[in-house]
Amino acid sequence: MWVLCASPFLFIVLTKFLMAVQTPNAHNEQLLSNWILAILSPFVLFPATAALFTVVRKWVMGNPDVSVFKTFFSGYKENYKQSMIGGFVYTLLFVIMYVDYTVYMTQLDGFQLVGIVMLVLLIVLFVSLFNFFSMTVHYEMKTTQLLKNAVLLTLIRPFRVFSTLAGSAIVIYIGMQMPVLFVIFLFCIIALLAFFNFYATFTKMQEQQERMKQKEEEESETEQALLETAEKKGDSSSKS
């Protein structure tokens, strides 16, 4: 279903790949296809991916028997607007940062270090997409909060997110050996891995917050008990 909903985007990707193989010097056509992909992404790719994450969220949280079709299109409808807006922001940032990276690395002498920094930021931005989609289907937040928290969680808890990236690379490598499975199951497995890591991080952070809250409550109870004891002693002293 993800492939079906994202088919316009995937068609352009396939066309771009075939064009690169058959006519490697067609730079104008490649540039045009890049712009088409950038325009399609917010309307097609992001909502379809959010819907896919809606399904894998159910699986990870212990509901494997849900209706995949119903859950997918329900998530598609519920998260379309928010994922589309997030798609506009991400696409714009990707375009700006990629252009900056290209300029610094190829056209400005002595600015290669800045280009490397831009590349690192591009990778962080890309990896934060895993958190963005996971948080979109798991929380009820404003889009600005989702975008901010997705990047912050990536920076605060990088191991889980980059392990998702590494796992995705392995899945893609295996999928390249079996093209049929690659098309059918690849993105589902990556989404499942991404939300599994996100949910593990979310659960751990929730447990830490509960422990901190319990500790604060215990400290508050101890302070209250000490105050009551002191008041009783004061009353006893005044009576004597």
Residue written as token pair 């088919």: 7
Q: Which domain holds residue 222?
A: 2-239
Q: What is the pLDDT of residue 228?
A: 66
Alpha carbons within 13 angstroms on the beta-carbon side of residue 95 total: 14
Q: What is the pLDDT of residue 105?
A: 86
Q: CB of 52 within 8 A of CB of 83?
A: no
d(CA 93, CA 212): 37
Percent of the chain whose pLDDT exceeds 90:
35
Q: What is the pLDDT of residue 201?
A: 86
Q: What is the pLDDT of residue 111?
A: 82
Structure tokens given for 184:
């059918």
d(CA 144, CA 236): 58
| pLDDT under 70: residue ranges of the chain | 24, 26, 179-184, 223, 225-240
The domain tally of the chain equals 1
Q: What is the pLDDT of residue 66?
A: 85
Residue written as token pair 């009551």: 228
